[in-house]
Amino acid sequence: MNWKRWRWTYWTDLFRRRKLAQDLDDELKAHVQMEIQRRISKGESPDEARRAALRDVRSLDSVKEATRDAWTWTSIERLMQDLRYAARTLLKTPVFAGIAILSLALGIGANTAIFSLVNALLLRTLPVSHPEELVLLTSYSREYRVGDFAYPDYLRLRDQTQVFSGLLGAGSGNRMEIDLGNRTDRPQVQIVTGNYFTVLGVQPLQGRLLVADDDNAPVAVISHGFWQRSFGGDPSVVGKSLMIRGSLCAIVGVAPREFHGDSAGEATDVWMSLGMQQAVTFSRFDMQKVRYVTWANVIGRLKPGMTIEQARAEAAPLVGQIHESAGTSPDKDYLHHIVMQPGGRGFAEMRERLQAPLLILMAVVALVLLMACTNLASLLLARAASRQREIATRLAIGASRMRVIRQLLTESVLLALIGGAFGLLIAVWINRFLLNLVSQGLVTITINLNPDGRILLFTAGVSVLTGILFGLTPAIQAVRRDAGPFLKTSSRTIGGRTRRRLLRNVLIFAQVALSLVLLTAGALFVRTVRNLKTVDTGFAAGNVLSVGIAPHRTAGPAQEADLAARLIDRISAIPGIRSATVAVNATLGLAGSGVYGLEIEGYTPKNEDDQRARANWVGPRYFETLGMSVLQGREFSMADTLNSSGVVIVNQTVARHYFGEESAIGRRVRFNKRDHEIVGVVRDAKYRELREVSPRMVFFAFLQYPSGVNNVEVRTDADPLAFAKTVRSAIKQVDPQLDAFEVATVAQRIDRKLTPEYLVADISGFFSGLTLLLVCIGIYGTLSYSVAGRTNEIGVRMALGAKRSSVLRLILRDILWTLIAGLAVGLAGALAAGRVVESLLFGLKPHDPVTLTFVVLLVAAVALLAGYIPARRATRVDPVSALRAE
Partner 1 sequence: MAKTRQKPDLLQGTLDLLILRTLQWGPQHGHGIGVALRASSDEVLNVDHGSLYPALHRLERQGWVDAEWKLSDNNQRARYYRLTPSGRKQLMAEESKWDLLVKAVSRIRNPV
With contacts defined by CB under 8 A, name the span among 24-32, 225-233, 342-350, 742-750 that binds partner 1. Answer: 24-32
Check binding of 403 to partner 1 (CB under 8 A).
yes
Judged by CB under 8 A, the residue of 7, 25, 26, 492 near partner 1 is 26
Cβ nearer to partner 1, comparing 232 with 398: 398
Check binding of 165 to partner 1 (CB under 8 A).
no
Check binding of 72 to partner 1 (CB under 8 A).
yes
With contacts defined by CB under 8 A, name the span among 5-13, 224-232, 440-448, 638-646 that binds partner 1. Answer: 5-13
Judged by CB under 8 A, the residue of 65, 662, 689, 838 near partner 1 is 65
| Alpha-carbon dihedral sign for residues 258, 263, 264, 267 | negative
- Work out whether strand 247-254 and strand 145-147 pair parallel, antiparallel, or are unpaired: unpaired
Question: Who contacts 656 (Cβ-Cβ below 8 Å, separation ≥6)?
Answer: none
Check binding of 57 to partner 1 (CB under 8 A).
yes
Judged by CB under 8 A, the residue of 24, 54, 442, 535 near partner 1 is 24
Check binding of 52 to partner 1 (CB under 8 A).
no
> Any idea what the Cα angle at residue 336 is, between residues 335 and 338, rounded to 5°?
80
Cβ nearer to partner 1, comparing 80 with 857: 80
Check binding of 283 to partner 1 (CB under 8 A).
no
SS3 350: helix
Total residue length of the chain: 886
Cβ nearer to partner 1, comparing 31 with 323: 31
With contacts defined by CB under 8 A, name the span among 68-76, 264-272, 758-766, 837-845 that binds partner 1. Answer: 68-76
Query: CA-to-CA distance for 367 and 515, rounded, in angstroms?
Result: 8
Residue pair 384/474 in contact (Cβ under 8 Å)? The answer is yes
Check binding of 398 to partner 1 (CB under 8 A).
yes
Check binding of 399 to partner 1 (CB under 8 A).
yes
Cβ nearer to partner 1, comparing 57 with 356: 57
Cβ nearer to partner 1, comparing 25 with 662: 25
Cα Rg of the chain, angstroms = 37
User: Burial letters for 778-809: b for 16+ Cβ neighbours within 10 Å, e otherwise?
Assistant: bbbbbbbbbbebbbebbbbbbeeebeeeebbe
Cβ nearer to partner 1, comparing 75 with 559: 75
Check binding of 400 to partner 1 (CB under 8 A).
yes
Check binding of 67 to partner 1 (CB under 8 A).
yes
With contacts defined by CB under 8 A, name the span among 62-70, 165-173, 316-324, 461-469 that binds partner 1. Answer: 62-70
Residue pair 184/178 in contact (Cβ under 8 Å)? The answer is yes
SS3 863: helix
Paired with 248 in beta bridges are 243
Check binding of 34 to partner 1 (CB under 8 A).
yes
Question: Who contacts 494 (Cβ-Cβ below 8 Å, separation ≥6)?
Answer: none
Cβ nearer to partner 1, comparing 33 with 559: 33
Check binding of 28 to partner 1 (CB under 8 A).
yes
Check binding of 878 to partner 1 (CB under 8 A).
no
Check binding of 58 to partner 1 (CB under 8 A).
yes
Check binding of 316 to partner 1 (CB under 8 A).
no
The least distance separating partner 1 from the CB of residue 9, rounded to whole angstroms, comes to 7
Judged by CB under 8 A, the residue of 17, 31, 387, 570 near partner 1 is 31
Query: CA-to-CA distance for 210 and 259, rounded, in angstroms?
Result: 14
Check binding of 54 to partner 1 (CB under 8 A).
no
The least distance separating partner 1 from the CB of residue 30, rounded to whole angstroms, comes to 5
DSSP states of 598-667: -EETT---SSGGGG-EEEEEE-TTHHHHHT--EEEE----TT--TTSPPEEEEEHHHHHHHHTTS--TT-
CA dihedral 178, 184, 187, 193 (to 10 degrees): -10
Cβ nearer to partner 1, comparing 31 with 291: 31
Q: Cβ atoms within 10 A of the Cβ of 453, count?
A: 7
Judged by CB under 8 A, the residue of 16, 17, 51, 78 near partner 1 is 78
What single-letter DSSP state applies at residue 212? G
Check binding of 62 to partner 1 (CB under 8 A).
yes
The count of residues interacting with partner 1 (CB under 8 A) is 35
860 to 374, 807, 817, 829: CA distances (angstroms): 18, 20, 12, 16
Query: CA-to-CA distance for 58 and 51, rounded, in angstroms?
Result: 10
Residues that bind partner 1 in the complex, under the rule CB under 8 A: 1-2, 5-6, 9, 23-24, 26-28, 30-31, 33-35, 37-38, 56-58, 62-63, 65-67, 69-72, 74, 78, 398-400, 403
